[in-house]
Structure 1
Amino acid sequence: MADRRILVDLLGFTGSRGGTETYVRELLPRIANLLPGTRFAALTGRAGAHRVSAFFPGHVQTVPWVGADPATWALGAVAATDLLARRGRADLVWAPANFGPVFRGVPRVVTVHDAIYDEVPGGLAQRAQRAVTSTLMRRSARTADRVLTVSHAAADSIGRFLAVPAERVSVVHNGSSEPRPVDDPRGILSSFALPAGRPLVLSVGNRMPHKNFPGLLEALATIAPAARPVTVVAGSRLPDPLAGDVARLGLERDVILPGWVSDEQLEALYQAADLYVCPSLAEGFGLPVVDALRRRVPVLAHDVPVLREVGGDAAHYADATDAAIFGAALTAALRAPADDDARAEAQEWAARFTWDSAAEATAEVLESVRRGARR
């Protein structure tokens, strides 16, 4: 019988929350292999139960009153996680999706991916909606035994905005996924109706304000129509909230909004793309930047510390808050494409970020907190 028990709080897992869910899907099976004497259990809501069961290396318990909405997720984290951890005699709780319990109880590690709600608060309505989440994140981080985060830039933000002492924050970079080339990328993308003979720009992400996709569209509008690339902005429900900006700026012939795309379609888009663009104002890590570089796709990113941390000298940077500057940088990147040597160096840089190394470092943090709590 296992003598170590870790409860993983996956109450917010729905299958549609992007990078934080990639994080747990990639790490958990690897961590289980690294800690063979540990029994893992997961808490999840009814919206994510079957998705969590598909990858989780242990027992999955569904809390039926937790749905896909943030309100019941937050309530579950506050009211249920520590209680069920005690009942299950867990040695440790790991909350990998920004917040968990807000009171001290079973020893706990929380992964705070970013402090974006405080860095880029958005408009008045968005600030009101985020106030509760931001408060819970702050309280959860301050009461955790250890905070994990995914970049040094995120660690700095957590210190400034969440007031967590630096000695309780551990930085473990995310990994990147290995390229899985497809045989016929244009065929896989046939439903996108990509026009032939024009450069293709790719950008991916949800439509939260910090992603700054309206800023990317404004930059595209500064480029003369004859020189304007076709730009695919994937990663949203349909109808896409960006559709109004596309129409307002007269970019209907230049911008494709396909919504969420499959893994195969995303690989095809990377293969077809001439340039990946990341206009984000803030990120915890910036995983698509690394994924693009690992696929030898040149990258243009907004010039902020976190994107320089993950993109290094392999990417190009410009101010995405200035449409003219970012549009000019985008045009310049397309006119002077990277040669094979530059692409190979970028791929080598990005290949340093692996999920195997992330799992090893994360397992060390979990074990360190667990051992310290049992002394």
Structure 2
Amino acid sequence: MAARRVLVDLLGFTGSRGGTETYVRELLPRIAALLPDTRFAALTGRDGTDRVSAFFPGRVQTVSWVGSDPATWALGAVAATDLLARRGRADLVWAPANFGPVFRGVPRVVTVHDAIYDEVPGGLAQRAQRSATSLLMRRSAQTADRVVTVSHAAADSIGRFLGVPASRIAVVHNGSSEPAPVAAPGGILSALALPADRPVVLSVGNRMPHKNFPGLLRALATIAPAERPMTVIVGSKLPDPLADDVVRLGLERDVILPGWVTDDQLEALYQRADLYVCPSLAEGFGLPVVDALRRRVPVLAHDVPVLREVGGDAARYADARDADTFGAAITAALRAPVDDVARADAQRWASRFTWDAAAEATAGVLDRVLAERAR
């Protein structure tokens, strides 16, 4: 029996797109091991070839005219993916980064991580690009054989905003990474000059509007200076877009914006943090919340269904849209830290979200669509 062929659309993979790239790096080697009768091939752009080749369990084909910009990535997904799948006699296309081809062709599974472009459209300057992306996502999801998403909350949004019936959506929770404690966190973080006598709040994420980091800064500004924690917000190229807000709110002595950090630096920050804060207005999954809980770091999150889905009773919640309310919740969490029993319970809760389980469930979806094609 001939091996089944799956073409994976990684045209948008550049090494700098955060959670969606973690998703494919973690899942693909595991899925390939679970489906030994299936051969995987990848399409990527010129900036992704080396990065994809480092983890991908199969042949990697470069589409040289696709760069790191979203426009050529989108054009490649629309114009090249299905064509190259047909030429390569693929039995299935998997698009794991929110969108792929927008017309029916080779059977397709698309992972839609969220419908945030519709939930939180952003300001006027962002809406044109976001509306185009949203249209591509909608067409790709509506023409796919199956849509995989990462939470029940995301599935509800995909049904509501993208018009995909629940019968074609499979919910597969993301996994989280195993803690990898570093031996000397203070040394690794020495460049940040974190004061030993102040509590440390950590928050991680890109600077897209739904992450609501300006809201977090406004909340910090409501806390009396004597009680204000030192806050580290990781996840941006430098100069950080939040820098002007920090100055405007008079938080220069209270907020550190280190840009992107290494894996060891992030682990060290989790070890040093007294509280992890997630002010996001919307998420597909909220992986940093799970990562923090798995490392026994107390969590305060914005009170929305998706963050309650992944944080459960292990996290605290407050309205991050209200600066006074969220600032008071940060202060209350630092004044009354959770004990070791609660931290251990939180770690057990978060440890249920594994990449092995995510890979097994995702492989099952791919396998079922492949079996339907073979009938």
TM-score, normalised with respect to structure 2: 0.99
| 1:60-139 equivalences in 2 (<5 Å) | 60-139=60-139
Unaligned runs of 5+ in 1: none
- One-letter identity of the residue aligned with 1:263: D
* Post-superposition CA distance 1:103-158 (Å, at most 9, x none): 00000000000000000001111111211111000000000000000000000000
C-alpha distance in structure 2 between counterparts of 1:127 and 1:239, whole Å = 24
Contact 1:2/1:38 (8 A) holds in 2 = no
- One-letter identity of the residue aligned with 1:299: V
- Following superposition, the deviation at residue 238 of structure 1 comes to 0.2
- In structure 2, the residue matched to 1:274 is 274
- In structure 2, the residue matched to 1:11 is 11
- Following superposition, the deviation at residue 367 of structure 1 comes to 0.4
Asked if 1:188 corresponds to 2:204, the answer is no
| 1:160-171 equivalences in 2 (<5 Å) | 160-171=160-171
- Following superposition, the deviation at residue 182 of structure 1 comes to 0.2
| Secondary structure at 1:226 match in 2 | coil
Contact 1:216/1:320 (8 A) holds in 2 = yes
* Post-superposition CA distance 1:178-208 (Å, at most 9, x none): 0000000111001111112100000000000
| Secondary structure at 1:183 match in 2 | coil
Contact 1:299/1:315 (8 A) holds in 2 = yes
- One-letter identity of the residue aligned with 1:165: P
Asked if 1:173 corresponds to 2:173, the answer is yes
- In structure 2, the residue matched to 1:338 is 338
Contact 1:2/1:39 (8 A) holds in 2 = no
* Post-superposition CA distance 1:233-291 (Å, at most 9, x none): 00000000000000000000000000000001000000000000000000000000000
In the TM superposition, structure 1's runs of 4+ consecutive aligned residues that sit over 6 Å from their partners are: none
- Following superposition, the deviation at residue 210 of structure 1 comes to 0.0
C-alpha distance in structure 2 between counterparts of 1:129 and 1:42, whole Å = 26
Bigger mean CA deviation after superposition, 337-346 or 127-136: 127-136
| Secondary structure at 1:257 match in 2 | strand
- One-letter identity of the residue aligned with 2:199: P
TM-score, normalised with respect to structure 1: 0.99
Contact 1:301/1:318 (8 A) holds in 2 = yes
- In structure 2, the residue matched to 1:45 is 45
- In structure 2, the residue matched to 1:259 is 259
- In structure 2, the residue matched to 1:367 is 367
- One-letter identity of the residue aligned with 1:73: W
Contact 1:185/1:272 (8 A) holds in 2 = yes
Unaligned runs of 5+ in 2: none
| Secondary structure at 1:141 match in 2 | helix
What's the RMSD between the two structures over aligned residues? 0.6
Contact 1:301/1:316 (8 A) holds in 2 = yes
| Secondary structure at 2:121 match in 1 | coil
| Secondary structure at 2:327 match in 1 | helix
C-alpha distance in structure 1 between counterparts of 2:362 and 2:236, whole Å = 30
* Post-superposition CA distance 1:334-353 (Å, at most 9, x none): 00001000000000000000
| Secondary structure at 2:352 match in 1 | coil
C-alpha distance in structure 1 between counterparts of 2:336 and 2:186, whole Å = 23
| 1:299-314 equivalences in 2 (<5 Å) | 299-314=299-314
C-alpha distance in structure 2 between counterparts of 1:187 and 1:2, whole Å = 54
- One-letter identity of the residue aligned with 1:326: F
